[in-house]
Structure 1
Amino acid sequence: MIEQLELKKGDITNLDVDAIINPANTQLIMGGGVAGAIRKKGGEEIQKECHKKSPINIGEVVITSGGKLKADYVIHAVGPRKSTPNRKKLLTKAVKNSLKIADDYGIKSLAFPAISTGVFGYPLKEAAEVILSTIKNYLNFHNSSIEKVIVILYDNKTYKIFNNINKKIK
Structure 2
Amino acid sequence: MILRTMVEIIKGDITTLKVDAIVNAANTTLLGGGGVDGAIHRAAGPRLQAECAMAGGCPTGSAKLTEGYSLPARFVIHAVGPVWSGGDQHEDELLASCYRTAMRLAEEHRIDSIAFPCISTGVYRFPFERACGIALAEIFRALDEGSRVKQVYCVCFSDADYETYQEVLTTFG
Classify the TM-score, shorter chain. over 0.9
Asked if 1:148 is matched to 2:164, the reply is: no
Q: Percent identity?
A: 36
- The alpha-carbon deviation at position 2 of structure 1 amounts to 2.8
Which residue of the partner structure matches residue 69 of structure 1?
Answer: 71
Which residue of the partner structure matches residue 165 of structure 1?
Answer: 168
Q: Aligned letter for 1:93?
A: S
Q: Please give the TM-score of this superposition, normalised by the length of structure 1.
A: 0.97
Structure 2: stretches of 5+ with no match in the other structure = none
Residue deviations 1:93-135 (CA, integer Å, cap 9, x gap)? 0001000000000000000000000111111011011001111
Which residue of the partner structure matches residue 3 of structure 1?
Answer: 5
Runs of 4+ in 1 over 2 A off after TM superposition: none
Which residue of the partner structure matches residue 28 of structure 1?
Answer: 30
Asked if 1:97 is matched to 2:101, the reply is: yes
Q: Cα RMSD (Å) of the superposition?
A: 1.0
Q: Aligned letter for 1:97?
A: T
CA contact (8 A) 2:82 2:124 kept: yes
Q: How many residues align?
A: 169
CA contact (8 A) 1:117 1:123 kept: yes
Q: Please give the TM-score of this superposition, normalised by the length of structure 2.
A: 0.95
